[in-house]
Amino acid sequence: MTVHEPSLGNYFEAFTVGDVYQHPLGRTINETDNTWFTLLTMNTNQYHFNTHFSQNHPITKGRIIVNSGFTIALVLGMTVSDISHHAIVNLELTDIKLTHPVFVGDTVYAESIVVAKRESASRPYAGIVTVKTRGLNQDGDVVVGWTRSVMVYKESARETNKYFPQAKTGPLEI
């Protein structure tokens, strides 16, 4: 019997400059997502929660525009499974651009390209990976983008990340 340990993400050695990751999950944004995030962050701009107020907006025309903080957080979260699941720390997030409005009901996807990588000078068990990420809506419009640097573990540090508990009752049986 082979035991497949819990696994997700990439270690430093797996990244190659020029590789593109089309992150596997898309996400349709609903009104509750947007309203809760807007209330949680105390954003009082009514374009995020008041359809009547939004009727006079030159872009939204009565549609609810998604809080841009939510859009950024969602796209960043979509990248974790490939880029930063084995992260030690995010180091930098720069050049954030919001290039197309996102509305309640839109589905967002994310993709990243590796633009640089180097070994950490101070942590021999880690490396630094830099990616450019963009979020796309269901029509292929780029809605957000940025550059991010993240420190990730090397494969040799895999043992550091063991977290699955050993059952006290012995092996799993059918």
Phi-psi category of residue 95: left, alpha or beta, with phi > 0 → left and psi -120 to 50 → alpha: left
CB distance 131 to 83 below 8 Å? yes
What is residue 3's predicted lDDT score, i.e. its pLDDT?
56
Provide the residue range defining the domain that includes 113: 12-158
User: How confident is the model over 39-91, as pLDDT tens digits?
Assistant: 999 998 999 988 898 898 888 888 999 999 999 999 999 999 999 999 999 99
At residue 6 the predicted structure's pLDDT band, cuts being 50, 70 and 90, is low
**In this structure, is residue 127 part of a structural domain?**
yes
Q: Specify if 165 maps to a domain.
A: no
Flag whether 93 is in a domain. yes
Inside any domain, residue 50: yes
Residue 1's pLDDT band, with cuts at 50, 70 and 90, is very low
Q: 164 in a domain, yes or no?
A: no
List, for residues 96-131, the tens digit of each pLDDT value. Answer: 999 999 999 999 999 999 999 999 999 999 999 999
117-126, 131-140, 152-161: the lowest-pLDDT one: 152-161
Assigned domain for 70 exists: yes
Question: Average pLDDT of 160-164?
Answer: 71
- Chain-centroid distance, C-alpha 75: 4
- Give the CATH number for residue 16: 3.10.129.10
What's this model's pTM, rounded to 2 decimal places?
0.88
The count of structural domains within the chain is 1
**141 in any annotated domain:** yes
Rounded CA-CA distance 48/41 in Å is 12
